[in-house]
Amino acid sequence: MKICVAIKRLYVHASIYDEFLTELVKETRDVAMSNGDHPLTFIGPIQNSLQFERVKDLLADIAKNGYTVALGDPQTAAQKGSYYVRPVIVDNPPEKSRIVAEEQFGPVLPVLKWTDEEDVLRRANDTRQALGASVWTEEMDRAERMMGKLEAGMVWSNAHFELHPFASLGGHKESGLAVENVPNEANPVLVRKMLSLHCHVAICNFASAAHLFESNPDDIIRHVGEPVRSEQVHDGGASRNSFAESL
């Protein structure tokens, strides 16, 4: 189990935090954990022994610091004699905690609370890695505004890890140097950022010298993409906003 752009942490608005966390725990508790031979498998084993030990180390740090856990037991989640780790959901841990700041590459998810938009953007961007991120909301003005300010190579609204054959694939900061699906003659002083806006894909170039992560409508080339599937659309009220980030 190792997906580079899988959601690494979740920021959920305080107005829906408790309800969202309850539903997340309910859904996660029922996921199937097995090897890939079973068609219903959702979580497989950790990829290798080195990564398994890293996940165990993060779980030990959660237990040592006494962080609130909404699902699972960090002391027993790692299965002896295998590379399986049962899902663990951490309830609003400190922003500087290891499980928030570091890549886990395992089924251990921190869920954090937010109220102020600028503050959550600052927290989300305070990382050395920046591969992908997503904004989930019915307020599309807010979605586009936040997507433009998120420092990540790929950003989606109301979806995550939906790739398009004409969209660039790559990260910012320490999440890789190259970008796939771009012409060889692409300007080396530009930073390419893919925005997937609801049912469309936008490919944006950003000058690295100024306003690196502020989108310019004139720089956007829109391609009509496939509609977002109904089960991927967040159906909460207008005030229901959440944000997910993968590193």
Task: For residue range 85-110, list pLDDT tens digits in order.
Answer: 999 999 999 999 999 999 999 999 99
pLDDT computed for residue 197 by the predictor: 78
Instruction: From 63, 81, 115, give the residue that closes a domain.
Output: 115
Do 93 and 169 fall within a single domain?
no
Do 91 and 184 fall within a single domain?
no
pLDDT computed for residue 75 by the predictor: 96
Asked if the structure places residue 162 within a domain, the reply is yes
| Domain extent for 228 | 129-247
Asked if the structure places residue 18 within a domain, the reply is yes
Judged against a pLDDT cut of 50, whether residue 224 lies above it is answered with no
Cα-flanking dihedrals φ and ψ of residue 19, to 5°? Answer: -65, -45
Specify whether the backbone of 64 is left (phi greater than 0), alpha (psi in -120 to 50) or beta.
alpha
Judged against a pLDDT cut of 90, whether residue 50 lies above it is answered with yes
Asked if the structure places residue 246 within a domain, the reply is yes
Query: Which tens digits make up the pLDDT trace of 159-194?
Result: 888 887 877 878 777 777 777 877 765 666 777 888
User: What pTM value is reported for the model?
Assistant: 0.77
Do 109 and 136 fall within a single domain?
no
* Mean pLDDT of all residues in 3-25: 93
Q: How many CA atoms lie within 13 A of 81 on its CB side?
A: 0
* Mean pLDDT of all residues in 35-57: 91
Pairing of strands 88-91, 220-224: unpaired
The span from the CA of 175 to the CA of 190, in Å, is 16
Confidence of residue 245 (pLDDT cuts 50, 70, 90): low
Instruction: From 84, 115, 146, give the residue that closes a domain.
Output: 115
Asked if the structure places residue 121 within a domain, the reply is no
Do 143 and 31 fall within a single domain?
no
pLDDT computed for residue 18 by the predictor: 98
Asked if the structure places residue 193 within a domain, the reply is yes
